[in-house]
Amino acid sequence: MTTARITSPEPDQRPENRRACDRFDAEFEITAQSENNFYRGLSENISVGGLFFETYELHRLGDVLTLRFTLPGTLTPIEAQGVVRWIRAPNPMSDTPQGIGVQFTELAPDSRRVIERFTRKRDPLFYESD
């Protein structure tokens, strides 16, 4: 007699799906500055831990950025320091935009509260694992 072993699916371990905080859909303009460059882009999602933004500029994992943005419906500009934790490369077979996932490394308590209030009004994004 043989027995079948049933295993649960492995959790999605792609960098863009590993996170400590729920993320929320949000589109707003972001400016980012590294040591040598200035960038502009549009956000795709945000959490109190970081954000993803669409950009065609090349970045490397570990790049340190100064981010500036104002969330929709708020008046308080936010400035945060962050580090590039993952990169979504261009993919001609998909309509998902290229860009970068940035983890906040320095975020003022007032800015964190603005993000918390903003995200409280939204449903978290959930992605099925492949």
Domain boundaries, the chain: 22-120
Q: Please list the ranges in the chain whose pLDDT falls under 70.
A: 1-20, 122-130
Yes or no: domain 22-120 corresponds to CATH 2.40.10.220: yes
Instruction: Return d(Cα 13, Cα 19) in angstroms, integer.
Output: 10
When the pLDDT of each residue in the chain is averaged and rounded to a whole number, the result is 81
First to last CA, the chain: 32
Local structure of residue 124 (DSSP, 8 states): B
Tell me if 41 sits within 8 A of 27, measured CB to CB: no
Q: Is 9 helix (H, G, I), strand (E, B) or coil?
A: coil
Question: What integer pLDDT is reported at residue 8 of this predicted model?
Answer: 34
- Indicate the pTM of the whole model: 0.76
* Helices (H) then strands (E): counts for the chain: 1, 7
